[in-house]
A = this chain, B = another copy of it.
Amino acid sequence: MSFSVTILGSSSAIPTSKRFLTAQLVNHDERFFLIDCGEGTQIQLRKYKKKIARINHIFISHLHGDHIFGLFGLLSTFSMLGRRNQLHIYSDPILKKLLTEHLDFFQKEINYPIIYHPISSKKSQIIYDDGKLEVSTIPLLHRVPCVGFLFREKQKPCNVRKELIGFYNLGIKDILKLKNGEDYLKDNGEKIANEILTIAPPPAKSFAYCTDTKAKESILKYINKIDLLYHEATFQDEDKELAKKTFHSTATQAANLALKANVKKLVIGHFSSRYKKEINFLNEAASIFPNTLLAEDGIEIEI
């Protein structure tokens, strides 16, 4: 089952010649979830050959322009491509008002329903659950209400060994019990241990997206031991005062959170365009948390 995230934009505030503004596309089992939608997101989706029409859920972290100015064009393009599917947008409730006013002027003939799901930034909420994947919010600390998103696969049940189904003449009820973790009781009372008859399922994977935010340890409980953490690193350590003042994080701070949370891999992004040597973001973070990756537009990371 596929579970990956593609970086569509990794610059903060202002695009650069190499980096578009923030957006990421999560693919879970060929269902596609867009996180944030900076200007040019629809252009990146095309460039990286993503199927725009299959995005049915858009999660918006906060209402700063560099995270949402691509929504206007994307919603318009959906309409021009003849979309009929519902589109679900999860965001600060004010976005509904902004987008409604906008659509009233620019896109009167929108031909698909938009379902708005209001998000509170005060406490974590489960905002999506399709039985295979759950998405919940992570309260962050920025200049405006802001949340991160935690994508967590549901633990799949174990699989019963096919070759033993016939051998023990297992029925559907037996199989369901085995999948439920129970042992198998033969008609003669003999017990066959669950682990003999089953194969452990692949581990459930998890991904957290945390931007924009001042580095805060209160997120540790959400990201503990997850497979992949995307955390913003707008600034380098030399500018930690600026990070504090603007409610952003440094690469050092992001790496320290990854270390404390025991995550498997860290990706840092949302880089300020002020730095000439981007490699210093990586050097700084990897000296604390070695399994760090620098976000680059277009890379797809398996979770």
Contacts and interface: CB of A to CB of B under 8 A. Distances in A.
Interface of A: 13-17, 20-21, 39-40, 42-43, 46-47, 63-66, 69-70, 72-73, 76-77, 80-81, 98, 101, 105-107
A70 B15 CA distance: 12
A149 B14 CA distance: 29
Given A76-B65, A80-B14, A43 B40 contact: yes
A21 B80 CA distance: 14
A60 to B, nearest CB: 14
A260 to B, nearest CB: 32
B39 A107 contact: no
A92 to B, nearest CB: 11
Contact of A40 (B16, B39, B66): B39
A106 to B, nearest CB: 5
A14 B81 contact: yes
Contacts of A15: 42-43, 46, 73, 77
A253 to B, nearest CB: 22
**Number of copies of this chain in the oligomer?**
2
Given A43-B39, A98-B105, A73 B80 contact: no
A65 B107 contact: yes
Given A17-B46, A40-B43, A72-B72, 9 more contacts: A15-B46, A17-B47, A20-B43, A39-B43, A39-B70, A63-B105, A65-B107, A66-B76, A98-B105
A39 B101 contact: no
A272 to B, nearest CB: 10
20 contacts: A13-B77, A13-B80, A14-B77, A15-B42, A17-B47, A21-B73, A39-B40, A39-B43, A39-B70, A43-B43, A63-B105, A65-B72, A65-B73, A65-B76, A65-B107, A66-B73, A66-B76, A69-B72, A72-B72, A101-B101
Q: Name which of A14, A15, A43, A76 has the most chain B CB atoms within 10 A of its CB.
A: A43
A103 B98 CA distance: 12
A76 B20 CA distance: 15
Contacts of A17: 46-47
Contacts of A101: 101
Q: Name which of A13, A14, A20 has the most chain B CB atoms within 10 A of its CB.
A: A14
Contacts of A105: 63, 98
